Structure 1
Amino acid sequence: MTPSDFAPALTAWHTRRGLTKKALAHAIGFDPSYVSHIEAGRHPASGDFARRAEQHLDAGGELWKAWQGAAGKQPAPTGAAELFVDSDHAELRYHDGVYTARMRRRVVNGGTEPVSRYLVRISVDRYPGRPEHSNELYRRHPLAWEALNLKAACNNEPMRWTVKHDKDSFKEVWLCFDNEESRFPLYPGQAATLEYAYTVGEDQWGQWFQRAVRLPTNRIGVDLVFPAGLDPDAWGTETSTTAEAVPLRHPIKRTCQGDDVVFSWSAQDPPIGARYRLEWRWRARPGGEPRPLLRTSSDRMAAAGIVQDGDPALARSARRFRLPEEAAAAQETVDHLHRAIGRVREHHEFGKGMGLAAPQIGIDRAAAVVLPPDPDASPLVLLNPRIIGSSAETDEHYEGCLSFFDVRGLVPRPRRIEVEHTAPEGATVITVFTDALARLVAHEVDHLHGIVYTRHMRPGLSPIPVEEYRGTGRPWRYRRT
């Protein structure tokens, strides 16, 4: 695609509608930097983006025609095997301590060459957001092929499979369109139904299940099937390489089937690169034993996966990202932070905004996400941040920390700070923050250097119990200068 045909039309239409690039991006569910790349001609627009922009800007078909004209300038593929997925359905069932995943995909060869194999991935994470615990677990008890008991079929014909990657917690295999008795390649224009299944014990599988869209797909769906006696609850998020994690755009439906509860979710025309993550919890343990009570604020934060005071992870400086080489690792870390923030917000409302640094979820990397006090403002993502300047004027306000949330401390902070940070593509950015946002950002930058707010409190002052704090749910107030 030649982006120059589409970019001017996009600029003209969002300007005509009185929308900035940032406003347009948030309105149609894309990251603002994605729009910037398109308008600068550095990146072609996807069909999904063009359709959403056309609809939101009510461009009378002009944007869509411009995109089609640009797309038509691409050279036609020659000799390529191009698969697309007509439907993709996954079922994850839990019973007696074992998860069984069953995948069913109807794939179509829209290319010009026969297809003889299909790549599938199996990835587990027992402790989401706490990679040091997961890494230790899988070093001691790696996923075993024998335990996975992987089986696959094409149109009910058994398929042979070969290993591409064999890691402790990650497997990739080629499902081959053949077996010991026959070969059945998928020729251009043909469709086939692929089915495969595997099992993982709950000692190795965390309470999450992610589906990634890697090929053009018409429909994707998931069923989670859990015993009703566990009193299960489920929710989900959607993310991609160009957008932050947000709640699923389509609700999860809950139904009862005998002794099971089924959570069903689906979406039409998911964009390539989208990742849909479903998570769940058991309100009751097997046998009906109630879950332990979360008696304190810190108990609730620990239950949400937040590293608590005393953990050595909070006292170390986090490792910086090498960008753009480590852009994928940075995005994965940010995804973990967004999911953890979602869990935290189930336990507490944050009238002053909030932030979370990667060391607080056990990830030793220099990334933080800050939610501004304005609930309509977009989250801030900071990679490799450091404070390079601050105002002489300071003020004092009480702060809380998710890593010791039972207390609040009176902390002096500059009212204005300058922060140098790195964009995913590697550019150095300097951003100025003031007042409440400066306080939130400074708190998280401190975490990335192994510092907690008590280090900044005036001598003789100590944090007070949260029960004595009177500012919960109210924003910090600042006098005008």
Structure 2
Amino acid sequence: MQAAAEAFIAELKHWRDIRGKSQSKLAREVGYTPSYVSKVEGGQLAPSEEFAAAADDVLQSGGALRRAFREIAKHGRPTAPHPGPAVEDAHATSLIVEHEDTTLAYDGRTYRASQRRRLFNDSPDPVTRYLIRISVDRYPGDPERSNRHYRENPLTWEEIGLSASIDGEPLSWRVKHDRDAFKELWLLFGQFPLYPGESVWLEYSYTVSDSKWGSWFQRAVRLPTQRMSVRLDFPAELEPVAWGTETSMTAEAMPLRTAIRRTDEGGRRVFSWSTEDPPLHARYRLEWKFRTRPDTEETQQDMTTAVTASERMRAVGVVQEGDPILAKTARTFDLPAEAEDARRVVAELISACERAASVHVFGKGMGMAAPQIGIDRAAAIVRTPDGESITLFNPRIVEESPERDEQYEGCLSFFDVRGMVPRPLAISVEHTDIDGQQRITIFERGLARLVAHEVDHLHGQLYRSRMREGIEPIPVSEYRGTGSTWSYEGRSGA
């Protein structure tokens, strides 16, 4: 029972950290008091089934919290685990990080994260241990898929290959939580305690394969920190590009306030970023993509043998016709409560668009809907021929112009053909902003066609169903419009 209760606490803290919610913010959103959440996490109060379900929904944990609660309940009536202190380590609030320096290096198959922290003990007592977390998420924005992936392919201690030291002296550790997608452990200082007024370099490294590591790396400020720096070290031949965002417990995500610098040397491309005096509880997220290859070895092998246009799209991660996810209405976002999830889905869509653009020229612009990359959420992005990007959450067409025209469309989910599709020349689309505001936007001509195509995807409809009876798509080899823009000259209503 106690082990199951501790596992629930670990999952709760893990997902709260991923979603960037303080105990107070989570309490408000689930309708409980901050004291209740604090006591649950501190092991002083057993969670209720209602709380577990509400937290699972708010934190979008893909059922992880519900499953963890069931493990408690199946042993009988839930009881509180052995009471413990509300604060995990009394010394934590007295430690100051003078400098945190992290390097994430990729060799084409595995990631190696190496972290160095200059710790200063501002307390009157020696510090003898330090808590670290190793957390991965292969499919950000789709927690159900990630949870399923790690249940089938759990993160193991053998593959991690953890090493740790303090001022060069090796450290031992004690495992606190061992879960499929994250580990928590105490680094034990042993005979090298950190005494009051002293500083020490704490270092640790671990390895994770790219089949379990998503294309993002996040640093959270859990202790007062004076300086933070991050390096992403990738093979230059993969043509990596990187960007980043920052959030706090109360603020929305925004671009990094300081620029990421890029250097190329010795066949490596290194992205460096740093900040001074980051606020407590801030989170910094760096993301990347490789222009010359898909995300996984499996799809990379598909790329080498791809012949048709559809196979090329499948190789870069686009779900193909016949997959059930393309035939159902996508799940809407509750905004702004799910703003973080929405941003993650958009980041995945942007990455997928970049991969698709690397294997095809889109002269008429392009779009991508979340179901096309295996995510059952109502989000889509559209890129105009001029490079403008439009993001749509929960869109639906509320009005169409009576004037229509008929032009060829292509779909990334069956890209071997092009179909003549009638569409209105103007549409009014109701959609939701990231802050939860409802809007109605009017799109016209080519942009109306692009948007309508993606809205259809989010309602389980492919363009084949829009074609006139008796008309069939033509092979892409017979299509002569690749690379050209939409044409409306001389068309009715244009």
Corresponding residue SS for 1:365: coil
- Decide whether aligned partners of structure 1 residues 114 and 367 sit closer, same or farther in structure 2, where only a CA change above 3 A counts: farther
Aligned to 2:205: 197
CA contact (8 A) 2:364 2:483 kept: yes
Letter aligned with residue 184 of structure 1 = L
The answer as to whether partners of 2:404 and 2:424 remain within 8 angstroms in 1 is yes
- The yes-or-no answer on 1:89 pairing with 2:96 is no
Report the count of equivalent residues: 384
Q: 2-side partners of 1:356 and 1:381: how far apart?
A: 10
Return closer, same or farther for 1:186/1:472 CA change in 2, 3 Å cut-off: farther
Q: Offset at 1:214?
A: 4.2
Task: Determine if contact 1:370/1:440 at 8 Å carries over to the other structure.
Answer: yes
Cα distance in 2 for partners of 1:85, 1:298 equals 52
Query: What residue in structure 2 maps to residue 210 of structure 1?
Result: 217
The answer on 1:465 being equivalent to 2:475 is yes
The residue aligned with 2:180 is 168
CA distance in 2, matches of 1:87, 1:213: 11
Q: Residue 410 of structure 1 aligns to a residue in which SS?
A: strand
Give 1:444 deviation, angstroms: 0.8
Residue 358 of structure 1: how far off its partner (Å): 0.6
Supply the distance in 2 between the matched residues of 1:333 and 1:203 (Cα, whole angstroms). Answer: 19
Distance 1:249 1:167, change over 3 A: same
Per the normalisation by structure 2, the TM-score is 0.66
Alignment of 1:100-179 (within 5 A): 100-106=112-118, 120-126=132-138, 134-158=146-170, 166-171=178-183, 173=184, 178-179=188-189
Which runs of structure 2 are paired with 1:256-275 in the superposition (5 Å)?
256=266, 261-269=267-275, 273-275=283-285
- Tell me what 1:51 maps to: none
Structure 1 residues 361-400: aligned runs within 5 Å: 361-375=373-387, 377=388, 379-400=389-410
- Structure 2 distance, partners of 1:343, 1:186, is 52
Describe how 1:317-396 pairs up with structure 2 within 5 A: 317-375=329-387, 377=388, 379-396=389-406
Residue correspondence of structure 1 range 157-306 to structure 2 within 5 A: 157-158=169-170, 166-171=178-183, 173=184, 178-184=188-194, 192-201=200-209, 203-205=211-213, 208=215, 210-212=217-219, 214=221, 218=227, 220-224=229-233, 233-240=239-246, 250=260, 252-256=262-266, 261-269=267-275, 273-280=283-290, 292-306=304-318
Bigger shift: 86-95 or 470-479?
86-95
1:316 corresponds to 2:323: no
Contact 1:147–1:200 (Cα < 8 Å) also in 2: yes
Instruction: Tell me the residue number matched to 1:424.
Output: 434
1:323 maps to amino acid: L
Q: In 1, distance between residues paired with 2:303 and 2:313?
A: 16
Deviation at 1:251, TM superposition (A): 6.1
Please state whether the residue corresponding to 2:430 is helix, strand or coil.
Answer: strand
1:404 maps to which residue?
Answer: 414
Task: Give, in angstroms, the shift of residue 150 of structure 1.
Answer: 2.8
Cα separation, 1, equivalents of 2:287 and 2:482: 32
TM-score norm. by structure 1 comes to 0.68
Q: RMSD of the alignment, in Å?
A: 3.9
Report SS of the residue matched to 1:396.
strand
Distance 2:398 2:286 in 1: 38
Q: Is the 8 A contact 2:95 2:119 kept in 1?
A: no
Alpha-carbon distance change, 452 to 186 in structure 1, aligned in 2, over 3 angstroms: farther
Task: Give the residue type in structure 2 aligned to 1:152.
Answer: A
Counterpart position of 2:77: none
Deviation at 1:439, TM superposition (A): 1.2
Q: Are 2:289 and 2:351, in contact at CA under 8 Å, matched by a contact in 1?
A: no
Equivalent residue, structure 2, for 1:447: 457
CA contact (8 A) 1:239 1:335 kept: no
- Cα 1:263–1:196 change in 2 (3 A) is same
Partner Cα distance (2:178, 2:466) in 1:
47
SS in 1 for 2:427: strand
Q: Kindly indicate whether residue 439 of structure 2 is the aligned counterpart of residue 414 of structure 1.
A: no
Offset, 1:232: 5.0
8 A contact 1:125–1:204 mirrored in 2: yes
1:309 to partner: Cα distance: 1.2
Structure 2 counterpart of 1:238, which letter? G
